[in-house]
Amino acid sequence: MDGTALLQCGAAFALNLALAWMVGVLSARWWLRRCARAAGDGGGGAGAGAGALWAASAAALLCGSLRWAAPLCLAGTAAALWAAAASMAGVPLSESGAALSMMLSQTAFGHAGLAGLAAMLALSALAWLLPRWRGLDFAALMLLLAYAASRVANSHAAEQGLLSMGIAIEYAHLMLVAQWVGSVAVAGWVVLPLAGPQRALARYLRPLSDTAAAALAGIAASGIYNAWHALGTVDNAFGNPYGTALLVKLVLVALAVALGGYNKLVGFPAAQCGKGLGRAVAVLRIESVVLAGALLAAAVLVAQQPPMAG
């Protein structure tokens, strides 16, 4: 890979990782609010107080993480646009200033990119300036949905048309992947290590497990559709960079599914009974690292031309 392709891959990886984290943060904060309400409805006592304290402290920590995730996504988006301009113009990154200016001002690709930058800039400002605003989560969700639309508008699926079935499926795929990766990472690295009481913990683990399973089903369906349109035939999965990156991604996803299946069937039920929470957290962390590897493989796909691209 040359410098432009490396920047494309690195930028795509950074922005997708940040997007997934932010989606996971919003989901986790919603589930934690339910845990806090359940603790309040439980009639008081030390357990209820501890559950509410766990939910509040974890939610505050997650809100603070938006302060680095949103700027990271913003920087990744800017770098991706820079690399795209250099690639389209066929010039080195150091000589792509004029091409970048023209792309941003005169092309639909550039306009979509600017919309994404605006959404992330607004979210970064909210995270830093209004962290205690009651409407922060809803505003963040709307901005993330708008940002995802800008990303999909600049994806390979856009070649089918902005109002095509391919765009809708790519949008769903992007958000479902973000939901799965983000919820796993947030739970494993922030929420569960703080370990609230068993009742509150169960109220968090159930939606985490169910949401991940539902997201996986949607990812499988949309992924099959995307792969069919990108490859055309099974033979195109072999002997080319795009197919190789896709196969690596699929292997990593399969490993993550196995880890998630273990937690759903063994790890989480044991943790809800007061046994083996540390093991469930360790599996979640391993799963999050594997999923980050899958995101990296997906970032490599961004810099490659699908075999069926016309």
Q: Is it the case that residue 310 has pLDDT exceeding 70?
A: no
Q: Which H or E run includes 7?
A: helix 3-40
pLDDT score, position 45: 53
pLDDT score, position 306: 75
CB atoms within 10 A of CB 238: 10
**What is the average per-residue pLDDT within 240-249?**
88
Q: pLDDT tens digit string along 109-165?
A: 999 999 999 999 999 999 999 999 999 999 999 999 999 999 999 887 767 777 788
pLDDT score, position 42: 54
Place of tokens 């845990």: 35
Average pLDDT for the chain: 90
93 and 83 in contact (C-beta within 8 Å)? yes
Closest CA to 76 of 11, 5, 19: 11
pLDDT score, position 48: 60
Q: Place 239 in a pLDDT band, splitting at 50, 70 and 90.
A: confident
**Dihedral sign computed on CA atoms, order 171, 187, 294, 254:** negative
Chain centroid, CA 293 distance in Å: 13
pLDDT score, position 162: 74
296: tokens are 């990296």
151: tokens are 């990303």
309 and 159 in contact (C-beta within 8 Å)? yes
pLDDT score, position 40: 61
Place of tokens 């370990």: 195
Share of the chain above pLDDT 70, in %: 95
CB atoms within 10 A of CB 228: 12
pTM score, whole prediction = 0.93
Closest CA to 135 of 153, 118, 123: 123
* Alpha carbon distance 114, 187 (integer Å): 32
Closest CA to 215 of 250, 185, 176: 176
pLDDT score, position 164: 81
155 and 80 in contact (C-beta within 8 Å)? no
Closest CA to 212 of 13, 24, 19: 24
**What is the average per-residue pLDDT within 58-67?**
95
**What is the average per-residue pLDDT within 256-279?**
93
* Alpha carbon distance 293, 165 (integer Å): 28
Q: pLDDT tens digit string along 15-61?
A: 999 999 999 999 999 999 988 877 665 555 555 677 788 888 999 99
Q: With DSSP H G I counted as helix, E B as strand and the rest as coil, what are the percentages for the chain, rounded to 5?
A: 85, 0, 15
pLDDT score, position 240: 81
pLDDT score, position 231: 78
Q: pLDDT tens digit string along 160-216?
A: 777 788 899 999 999 999 999 999 999 999 999 987 677 788 889 999 999 999 999
List, in order, residues 6 or more apart from 242 with CB less than 8 Å away.
230, 231, 301, 304, 305, 306, 307
Distance between terminal CA atoms of the chain? Answer: 22
Place of tokens 């799963």: 287
